[in-house]
Amino acid sequence: MPETTEQRSQNMSRIRSKDTGPEMAVRRLVHSLGYRYRLHRKDLPGKPDIVLGPRRKIIEVRGCYWHAHLRYDPTCWEARSAAKSNTSYWGPKMDRNVARDAENLSKLQDMGWQVLVIWECELRDIEEVERRITDFLQA
């Protein structure tokens, strides 16, 4: 049986933009590697997830569905399902998310920041994510 509008609204209200499961996993990993960081700095474009100020490095953790990872990686299993209702809203919404991500990345790079993007689906191989983060932060 399809969800009612009220049920859908309640489900959507539970979706958070920060302190998500994938973000928390990456934060725990970075902390366990001995790095300290700031969260969601409001003075930077897009309020990045993890900011290592003195190193001028940022780690962004992106949800595959909400940031349209399927456009970048056609094998992404997390982003396989598309919106089934209200597609006239959700299609352009995803387009705006992708455009905003690209704009914020460009602004950050123009400001001299290096940015590592970790996708939700990549967390299935936490050892590979750890290697990527270590290489990124030590470079």
As a three-state string, the secondary structure of 62-85 is ECCCCCCHHHCCCCCCCCCCCCCC
Q: What does the pLDDT average to over 6-13?
A: 67
Neighbours of 96 (CB within 10 A): 10
Q: What does the buried/exposed string (b/e) look like for 42-65 if buried means 16 or more CB atoms within 10 Å of the residue's CB?
A: eebbbebbbbbeeeebbbbbbbbb
Establish if 12 belongs to a structural domain.
no
pLDDT digits (tens, 9 = 90+) for 76-86: 877 677 777 78
Establish if 1 belongs to a structural domain.
no
Establish if 110 belongs to a structural domain.
yes
Q: What does the pLDDT average to over 113-128?
A: 96
Establish if 87 belongs to a structural domain.
yes
Establish if 108 belongs to a structural domain.
yes
Q: Is the pLDDT of residue 46 over 90?
A: yes
Residue 102 per-residue DSSP state = H
Q: Which residue segment(s) compose the domain that 58 sits in?
A: 18-138
Establish if 11 belongs to a structural domain.
no
pLDDT digits (tens, 9 = 90+) for 48-73: 999 999 999 999 999 988 888 888 88
Establish if 125 belongs to a structural domain.
yes
* Short-list 69, 86, 87, CA closest to 78: 69
Identify the weakest region by mean pLDDT among 17-21, 38-42, 43-47: 17-21
Establish if 38 belongs to a structural domain.
yes
The CATH number covering residue 77 comes to 3.40.960.10
Domain count, the chain: 1
Q: What are 87's two structure tokens? A: 């597609």
Question: Residues with Cβ < 8 Å from 29, sequence gap 6 or more?
Answer: 126, 129, 130, 133
Instruction: Indicate the pTM of the whole model.
Output: 0.86
